[in-house]
Chains A and B, each alone.
Chain A
């Protein structure tokens, strides 16, 4: 089994009544659902080797080097922002309870409270400070200080998708039980079209198992809603995927739209789930024209010590001359013969209530999507 990132699967969970009682007595900080989900990810090791929110040293090192202070690859800050006045008398060394809608989610041992420069954060992570970038907007809305410290998860964050909610310990045992020594992870925030299916199945041809791992959480306007993604994949699995070599489980965290840096982050999380390989397609985790189409692949060459093998794919399309789904590497014919799997076109058809052609999207998948009044985030 592939080692978790940093060598040890973090498990910072204590669901005992004693600790829950203790959590009720402590000073409290209210958090939103995205923070609650990421506390689950820390506690259950999705973010291994992180045991809590980043210290200033780790935070600055991630910004400057794309690595933790101990040199381990890590590209996205995992931080809790607070208003210095709002947290009042809480000091370094104190314990506080992080509350989501009156439910204690975790106890945080405050090790550091530090200011940060939002523009520097945005520039280094997103390579831009333009407010047209949804990740930049998100950073600019945050409060002015960050808190670093280890956490103990006392309750799992709520989920609407319990059926597909798996933690790394569970996926690792699942892969072992299935006898999969090599597993390829697929990150997605889309309902699948035929191009996605071909990428996934091409990768699966070379490994034992395929782990489709849709990202559930805050997304931008126009993205597919979470429940639509799940329903669409259920249809695809039912009709077109081999049960013994493909499986579906969700990852609940927000999209950052950090392009290349987020691609590394996505790969690390899948390594923690037990994947040995990770698919990186065109403009992975990108938005608009902020990143070049293959920058998210190129960044992997800076991380020889990542510990998970990226599989790079160019876009797939249907070639009328070849009579099959191909990509530019294997098709000699010109673009006049190609039908691309344009996400925008598919989206427009679905909005009009039309079923995209079978060459673009499986009819069973399209039918499921069309059952939703509005399948897209508003």
Chain B
């Protein structure tokens, strides 16, 4: 199990001066390590790119609208 957990993480290299700046920045915050801060920032950035495919066909949409009208949600 411990081995499995280790596999969940990997190493990324960043410049040492940047590492030190981050160390300074996270002092007194809730972040316990540079890794946790970098993970947080990267997750935030990656999530901004979340895209969605249009899941509904025209027929789907018409069928749904009919039900919504029958239930009184749409006029």
Q: Contacts A169-B64, A247-B73, A301-B30; is A1 near B52 (CB within 8 Å)?
A: yes
A7 touches B64 (CB 8 A): no
- Residues of B close to A137: CB separation below 8 A: none
Among A164, A169, A177, A305, the residue within 8 A (CB) of B43 is A305
Interface centre among A9, A166, A172, A173 (most CB of B within 10 A): A173
- Residues of A close to B50: CB separation below 8 A: 3, 7, 307
In the assembled complex, B60 has its CB within 8 A of some CB on chain A: yes
A169 touches B71 (CB 8 A): no
A304 touches B56 (CB 8 A): no
- Residues of B close to A172: CB separation below 8 A: 56
Among B8, B30, B47, B73, the residue within 8 A (CB) of A307 is B47
Report the interface size class on chain B: 20 to 34
For chain B, what secondary structure do more than half of its interface residues adopt (helix, strand, loop), or is it mixed? Answer: helix
Q: How many A residues face the partner with a CB closer than 8 A?
A: 28
Q: B14-48 interface mask toward A, CB cutoff 8 Å, 1 = contact, 0 = none?
A: 00000000000000001000000000110110110
Give Cα A306–Cα B48 distance, bound, in whole angstroms: 10
- Name the distance in Å between B50's Cβ and chain A's nearest Cβ: 5
Q: A157-201 interface mask toward B, CB cutoff 8 Å, 1 = contact, 0 = none?
A: 000000110100110111001100000000000000000000000
In the assembled complex, A11 has its CB within 8 A of some CB on chain B: yes
Q: Contacts A169-B64, A173-B64, A301-B30; is A7 near B51 (CB within 8 Å)?
A: yes
In the assembled complex, A64 has its CB within 8 A of some CB on chain B: yes
Give Cα A47–Cα B61 distance, bound, in whole angstroms: 21
Task: Give me the interface of A with B, judged by CB distance under 8 Å.
Answer: 1-4, 7-9, 11, 61, 64-65, 71, 163-164, 166, 169-170, 172-174, 177-178, 247, 301, 304-307
Task: Give me the interface of B with A, judged by CB distance under 8 Å.
Answer: 5, 8, 30, 40-41, 43-44, 46-47, 50-53, 55-56, 60-61, 64-65, 67-68, 71, 73-74
